[in-house]
Amino acid sequence: MKKLITILLISSIGAFSASNSDIEKKLNFLIEKMNRMEKKLNSKDREIETLKKEVKKQKVETKKRFTTQSCTNIKVSNLNFTYNKEVIPYYNLSYTLTNKYPYAIKKIAGKVKIKDNDGVTVMTDYIAKENVNLPKNGTLNIKKVHTVESDLEKTMNEETPATLKLTFIPTQIIFTNGEQVSCGGIFNTIF
């Protein structure tokens, strides 16, 4: 009986050692597979991060592109004027244009509409400036002589600059990066 128990014991130990080495091989195989999967996942994580950065960059560029298509991103402020009642009456005008576009401007053309408290346009002044290099949030001071063309323009002298509302309507804006905005004119062109 001792022999039988010894034989059973030896065979079970042999069987256990054989199955233990099989288990060890299988575990090593699984560990290798997991390491390869982890490397693939890390690679995919880097790709995802790169894609997220690209999407964020594209989102910013798209927002800038939509902003550049707007015709309301030049703000007008600081109006001052003096009326000169000569043979041909005129105003000495000064006002400031502020660039609210996301790019610097190299050429700007358009009109400044000046309205009174009732919303009546009392004057329209035209400007065209090349090589201005007006940066984002930068200002451009305009000083010019405006010849009075109607009786309505004469009434502006009765107003104070603080009560007048100013808006700039561009006919053409060219940015330093080559993009441009055309608002108004025939088929959005300027002659």
Q: What is the pLDDT of residues 95-134, one digit of tens each?
A: 999 999 888 999 999 999 999 988 899 999 999 999 898 9
Average pLDDT of the segment spanning 54-83: 79
**68 exposure class (CB count in 10 Å sphere: 0-12, 13-18, 19+):** middle
Global pTM value: 0.63
* Band (6; pLDDT cuts 50, 70, 90): low
- For residue 32, pLDDT beyond 90: no
Give percent of the chain above pLDDT 90: 34
Rounded-to-integer distance, Cα 113 and Cα 168, Å: 6
Cβ partners under 8 Å of residue 172, min gap 6: 107, 108, 109, 110, 180, 181, 182, 183, 185, 190
* pLDDT for res 3: 61
* Band (64; pLDDT cuts 50, 70, 90): low
Residue 39 backbone phi and psi in degrees, to 5: -65, -45
